[in-house]
Structure 1
């Protein structure tokens, strides 16, 4: 299989080998978050999934990951335990997986492990195990009790904030927490006060936060967005946070969305899920062993991620033959026509692929957050460039973006 493809202008776009595996080890969750792309948007294929990944799928996943590493001369690989709620699988599962991975992969390939959890099941015993197995962790929380509990509820409709806050307090009592804690993942709620949310996260004593745009499409737009209008509710929510964060100049607190945008403005090759057109290098493994592209695609339509591949019968390499995977594996070549002419495309990257989708045009649309991303990126560039000496601006040819942006 070739490692590059030809784009429409004849240039070669390299496929990045898979270095990270998002493992859907549990296909059930003890929460019922209203915006969840797995359970509460358009895709209901989880109903046909085993609740927990089997031992057979675990072994095959690790072996197929090893095969891919060897074929691509990779010496490291990352396994991200995900769900559903991954702590539902129990402690023995994680112990077995990490032990098998190290046995199969070492010494040629060095595995690392992380877990993304809603935090409600976290206990002292769990933290001890995560430390023992060298697993880092991230926690999902949307802000203050009122804001978090508007969407992040259990199956009885009860909010989750106080259980998550108790988990965070427990984490901070662990001397290893700064080493193990990856930060907070938070879905933006534009009906909240952005500065109140930002200061609340600061008050929790953590080091990093990922502010995520709600998964949505042109068919089912995000709250507050008029896809045919000019409003920018998400930029208007994020900009006050950026201004306060930037003015603080606190390098110890990382708002990753802003960090990535600043890096991309200055030519960084690192991207995140919401910005940057750098090809991604991860695959999803479902509880039944299905090899799939990003789960966020489930926001588009039923069954979109079911591409007919499985670790029990296929190699990881085969995912590159699936057309929808190109949206991520060769992202630079899969931009919508409108985006290719945009002056900030190298920063925005067209946004997250699911956010471009419509039943009328497929993925050949600007993001439903196009105007928001435009306004936010222009604002950040203006703020950052204003702090630079004139000779640096001249040397780097940094012109104000507001003079470049043109209407559709």
Structure 2
């Protein structure tokens, strides 16, 4: 119990709370970019007990103090806060992602009311794109009908085939969840509804699962997109199968196998966000991703009690890492833009460590996911704990692109 205050006090001694001069940035004329994506935690508990979960199984246990379900009043207040922010910055659209825990635990009636409220309060101000990220276990016909009525795009988390899914994604009785998720995904089967509502699949990487078999198991659900997530870890708490200072690249090796299978397919089978982002950056384009690149992060999280926080993956670093100390005067979103921890996510190359800035691919890698840079010694100004893996993956993708360009020239 005494470790939490210690962590919180140390946060003020680490970068960016210490070392990032926000006032100096103001003097130079730098301005933050407003938030355009909002993760709203409508339920703080989950019906699964995934052993890698950053919310329930890692450093920050603040979920225990949160109300289980967001009240209608808190949700409406959150929408008004977002609407005021959108009006102030003249935002043409905002994305609201209903999240948890497991958001479908709010029940059918509450989900419908939340969607109705969001559209009623925000659509007079800006375009609203609603989404929900679910583990799929509770996804039934009535939930899909609600999503269809209110145009809520559905993303589902699943880790591959049955053995890959059930190794980690079990319920509190220890039973696997695969068959229930498959049944949930079947609710999206009608082609017209699938095309409109199915946002894609989210897969957390486990290198003990066969990579190509995992990818092909996900393809069987005909997803429009797949996102592969590196397990959350950092220099203080190493991810599975990584050793600090080791030059091995187990995660790159795993992803390269999928990339080659995906890239060599005779026709496009699905989008893979990580690969597409790296390709876009290698070709001189832009990629809106937290995992790679240097684009400003413009996302805020609203907890079930209405508290405004940073991206919740930071809970994997230390207790209190998501907390903000915004003034209670004015719109908290406007104030949060000037928090050092938020500014650090928007200043691009200036947030990178000297090691990263001296690297030839730093504009592609972008230092990796901010969460994966944490060290108990100096905060978040470090290379990613996945530095070797990201380097190997980017260089492999770059070499494949270059080979194709050279071949095209010869033809």
Structure 2-normalised TM-score? 0.90
Q: 1:225 — aligned with what?
A: 242
Q: How many angstroms does 1:207 deviate by?
A: 2.5
Picking from 80, 95, 105, the partner of 1:78 is 95
Deviation at 1:312, TM superposition (A): 10
The one of 376, 394, 405 equivalent to 1:377 is: 394
Shift of 1:93: 2.0
Q: Please name the residue that 1:359 is paired with.
A: 376
Query: Which runs of structure 2 are paired with 1:4-403 in the superposition (5 Å)?
Result: 14-173=31-190, 175-309=192-326, 314-389=331-406
CA offset digits 1:263-310 (Å, max 9, x no partner): 011122223121111111110000011111110100110111122449
CA drift at 1:173:
3.4
Choose 141-150 or 14-23, whichever is displaced more.
14-23
Q: CA deviation at 1:314?
A: 4.3
Shift, 1:249, TM fit:
4.5
Closer, same or farther in 2 for the Cα pair 1:23/1:310, shift >3 Å? Answer: farther
Structure 2 Cα separation of the partners of residues 332 and 111 of structure 1: 31
Pairwise CA RMSD: 2.3
- 1:303 aligned counterpart, secondary structure: coil
CA shift for structure 1 position 5: 7.9
Give unpaired runs (5+ residues) of structure 1.
Answer: 394-408
Deviation at 1:56, TM superposition (A): 2.1
Greater relative contact order (CA < 8 Å, ≥ 6 in sequence): 2
In structure 2, the CA distance between the partners of 1:14 and 1:261, relative to structure 1 (3 Å rule), is farther
Describe the superposition over 1:377-403 as per-residue Cα deviations: whole angstroms up to 9, x where unpaired: 00000001111158979xxxxxxxxxx
* CA distance in 2 between partners of 1:88 and 1:375 (Å): 40
CA shift, 1:95, in A, is 2.1
What secondary structure is seen at the aligned counterpart in 2 of 1:185? strand
- Distance change in 2, residues 1:52/1:77 (3 Å): same
Q: Which residue of 1 aligns with 2:7?
A: none
Contact 1:14 1:330 in 2 (8 A): no
Partner SS, residue 81 of structure 1:
strand
Mapped contact 2:85–2:331 kept (Cα < 8 A): no
CA apart distance, 1:26: 0.5
Contact kept in structure 1, 2:108 and 2:142, CA below 8 Å? no
What is the CA-CA distance between 1:214 and the residue it aligns to?
0.5
Distance 1:134 1:342 in 2: 43
Unaligned runs of 5+ in 2: 1-21
Q: Is the partner of 1:261 in helix, strand or coil?
A: helix
User: Are 2:308 and 2:332, in contact at CA under 8 Å, matched by a contact in 1?
Assistant: no
Give the CA deviation at 1:21: 0.5
Q: Is the 8 A contact 1:119 1:139 kept in 2?
A: yes
Q: Distance in 1 between matches of 2:126 and 2:328?
A: 19
Aligned residues: 389
Partners of 2:179 and 2:23 in 1: CA distance: 50
Aligned to 1:405: none
